[in-house]
Amino acid sequence: MAKTALVTGSSKGIGRAIALNLAEAGYDVAVNYNSDEAGGLDTCEKIRAMGRRSIAIQANIAKLEDIEKLFREFFAEFPTIDVLVNNAGITRFCPFLEATPELFEQVISVDFRGSYFCAQAAARNMVEHGTQGVIINITSNHQIGHWPTANLYGPIKAALNKFTEHAAMELGKNGIRVISVAPGYTIIRDEQLRRQERGAKNPLAEKIPLNRFGTADEVGKMVAQLCSNPGAGYITGTCLYMDGGALLANVVETQIEPAVWPVTEEMKQAREEERARQRAAWKKAMEEEEAQLKQSEESKA
């Protein structure tokens, strides 16, 4: 029988790439989505087209009752679980002085509490059935890097990574491995990927030692290797950074956010003007690049 996997937040982005790569590696994969049903069903269809079993389960992992439903539906289809990937997450940046309890609750309930209780549900089944499974937590290089306005996202990803270490320690005796994968700047949309593949210049990417952004497929392939490659069998309680060296180079988060958040009206206005200037410059560069591309395609034709 094929091994089974559940990937939270696999309706799009990195989660979808992980689900497809696990299917490629021979797993039957349950897809989880929250709001994007079409995306969830599409991932599911793609997995089935690869000859693997798949179901798509709607569940908002910010809600504990939805996590129960997620695993109830998973275990109705697959009696045991070999791999859980806690990928679902929301990325919210906000100046500390403006952060609200609602924002705090929103981020922590998905990015930490949701992953924690999904891991618990999966681990209980693994222990009960003697499955030497794998739990992967998708964190971020923000867990140790310090970027402006990431005062919530960064610490919460750090907490998730710390949880990886504790869970690995407690579950090791059952042969269950728990690993963090921490991506850096990762392209999650097709049009961005096409731009990078055709060599479009990006000033931020140029600051990364590998001179480009990472791709969702690279994260998917690495997660599949960590789960299925026998050479990874002794890896647990640690974190694999996949950020092209961005942490080494202290690459700043964006081109437009100042390191110190503007707190006066004058500073806010100056920031808005700078943003507008940057956006206009960016738009112009994109238009020029598109025109050049069109011209070279026409001259080839």
Residues that are catalytic: 153
Q: Which stretch binds ligand NAP (CB under 6 A): 11-19, 144-152, 166-174, 287-295?
A: 11-19
Q: Which two tokens stand for residue 242?
A: 């996949």
Does 12 contact ligand NAP by CB under 6 A? yes
Does 54 contact ligand NAP by CB under 6 A? no
Residue 248 Cβ vs ligand NAP, minimum distance, rounded to whole Å: 16
Q: Which of residues 135-154 bind ligand NAP (CB under 6 A)?
A: 138, 140
Q: How many residues contact ligand NAP, by CB under 6 A?
A: 29
Question: What is the C-alpha to C-alpha distance for residues 88 and 13, in angstroms, rounded to an integer?
Answer: 10
| Nearest residue (CB) to ligand NAP, 65 versus 265 | 65
Does 185 contact ligand NAP by CB under 6 A? yes
| Nearest residue (CB) to ligand NAP, 38 versus 281 | 38
Q: What are the angstrom distances between the C-alpha of 125 and each of 28, 78, 93, 255, 282?
A: 17, 11, 35, 46, 50
Q: Which stretch binds ligand NAP (CB under 6 A): 27-35, 116-124, 191-199, 258-266?
A: 27-35
Residue 98 Cβ vs ligand NAP, minimum distance, rounded to whole Å: 21
Does 183 contact ligand NAP by CB under 6 A? yes
Does 19 contact ligand NAP by CB under 6 A? no
Binder to ligand NAP among 24, 36, 165, 289 (CB under 6 A)? 36
SS3 53: coil
In degrees and rounded to multiples of 5, residue 113 shows phi and psi of: -60, -45
Q: Which residue has the tokens 């994969």?
A: 29
| Nearest residue (CB) to ligand NAP, 15 versus 244 | 15
Radius of gyration of the chain (CA): 21
Does 88 contact ligand NAP by CB under 6 A? yes
Binder to ligand NAP among 7, 29, 61, 168 (CB under 6 A)? 61
Sign of CA dihedral 40, 44, 49, 50: positive
Question: What is the C-alpha to C-alpha distance for residues 291 and 217, in angstroms, rounded to an integer?
Answer: 29
Residue 301 Cβ vs ligand NAP, minimum distance, rounded to whole Å: 35
Q: What is the identity of the amino acid at 6?
A: L
Q: Are 119 and 49 in contact (CB under 8 A)?
A: no
| Nearest residue (CB) to ligand NAP, 61 versus 168 | 61
Question: What is the C-alpha to C-alpha distance for residues 144 and 266, in angstroms, rounded to an integer?
Answer: 32
Closest CA to 109 of 70, 160, 150, 72: 160
| Nearest residue (CB) to ligand NAP, 57 versus 126 | 57
Does 87 contact ligand NAP by CB under 6 A? yes
Question: What is the C-alpha to C-alpha distance for residues 173 and 239, in angstroms, rounded to an integer?
Answer: 20
Residue 123 Cβ vs ligand NAP, minimum distance, rounded to whole Å: 19
Question: What is the C-alpha to C-alpha distance for residues 241 and 219, in angstroms, rounded to an integer?
Answer: 10
Question: What is the C-alpha to C-alpha distance for residues 98 and 96, in angstroms, rounded to an integer?
Answer: 5
Cβ count near 258 (within 10 Å):
14
List residues near ligand NAP by CB under 6 A: 8-15, 32-36, 39, 60-62, 87-91, 110, 138, 140, 183, 185-186, 188
